[in-house]
Amino acid sequence: MKWLVIFLVSIIVFLTSNICAQDVLKKQFAYAKNLYSNEDYYDAITELKRLLFFDTGCHYTFEAYMLMGKSYKMGGKFSDAILNYTDAELNAKTIQQIYQAKIEIIRTNILRRTTDRALQLLGELEKDKRFAHKANEINYWRGWDFMFADKWDDASKSFSKIDSCKQLKYLAEKVHKDKYSEVFSNLISHFIPGTGQIYTGNYFSGFLSLGWNILWGYVTVNSFAANRIFDGLVELNLLWLRFYNGNIQNAQNFAKEKNLVITNKALNYLQFKYDGLKP
């Protein structure tokens, strides 16, 4: 009878201590979440590391690593965020938790512009039969990845597969149509100097470039026609070719600058005015 009493008391003490320990861990996790909500990310990470040390039963391992990943992400430390999301995935207990961790890794890769890696991970998710029902979300983040990679036409195609993403589809289409073709600008500048600048709306520079090329082309041809070979070679290499090559370089630069303005305007809209889910 005495041993039975000792055994029962031991069980009660064990269960009580275990419940108390879990209660302490619960409060500590709640405290870390509160720090995160108040944007105190450094202290939140410290508390979560402390939680992981004392959580010998791994009750909050997944949640702690996920929240640490978010804290690092909000602090701009994307590599640390991905490491913690990866640890969360390794400690996931359900398929949904695995998917959740994978998506956060993808979103962080989009933000840090490792877009090829994000596309690779999205492709792996798409092939995984466990996540066949997540096709819309996968296409959604693929569209965001293409936008960050400055591939707006591909982004539009990804968003077109989702009925609720018409706003992003139209935005991506507009940016794609508004952007100037750097290849076309370069090509026409080879044939008619100045037309690349005119194509991008830089009329003064375009007509000036055209005028200089006509002038020095005329002078160079006249020198060769008058058998002033040395003068013709000097004018060809130092004047005409200089303005000709400069016109091509300017056309490329103008197209890049205009495209950068168009892209930054779209990304600025997405950052400050778009209400949907963002990376």
265 shares a domain with 186: yes
Coil vs helix vs strand at 210? helix
Q: Does the residue 177 lie in any domain?
A: no
Q: Does the residue 249 lie in any domain?
A: yes
106 shares a domain with 190: no
Mean pLDDT of the chain: 81
Domain coverage including residue 105: 19-112
CA 207, CA 107: separation in Å to the nearest integer?
A: 46
Give pLDDT < 50 ranges for the chain.
2, 4-20, 216, 231-236, 238
Q: Does the residue 142 lie in any domain?
A: no
Of 112, 127, 156, the residue that ends a domain is 112
CA 216, CA 222: separation in Å to the nearest integer?
A: 10
CATH number at 68 reads: 1.25.40.10
Q: Does the residue 155 lie in any domain?
A: no
Of 91, 112, 133, the residue that ends a domain is 112
B/e letters for 142-175, b = 16+ CB within 10 Å, e = fewer, are: bbbbbbbbbbbebbbbbbbebeebeebbebbbeb
Of 74, 93, 112, the residue that ends a domain is 112
Torsion sign across C-alpha atoms 74, 76, 82, 84: negative
Q: Does the residue 81 lie in any domain?
A: yes
Q: Does the residue 258 lie in any domain?
A: yes
pTM for this prediction: 0.81
Q: Does the residue 214 lie in any domain?
A: yes
pLDDT reported for residue 39: 92
Q: Does the residue 147 lie in any domain?
A: no
Neighbours of 257 (CB within 10 A): 13
CA distances from 159 to 102, 136, 196, 263 (A): 20, 9, 32, 17
Torsion sign across C-alpha atoms 72, 73, 74, 75: positive
Coil vs helix vs strand at 213? helix
If one counts the domains in the chain, the total is: 2
Residue with tokens 């008058």: 226
The 10s digit of each residue's pLDDT in 159-218 is 999 988 999 999 999 999 999 888 877 777 766 777 777 777 776 676 667 665 565 455
Torsion sign across C-alpha atoms 122, 125, 126, 131: negative
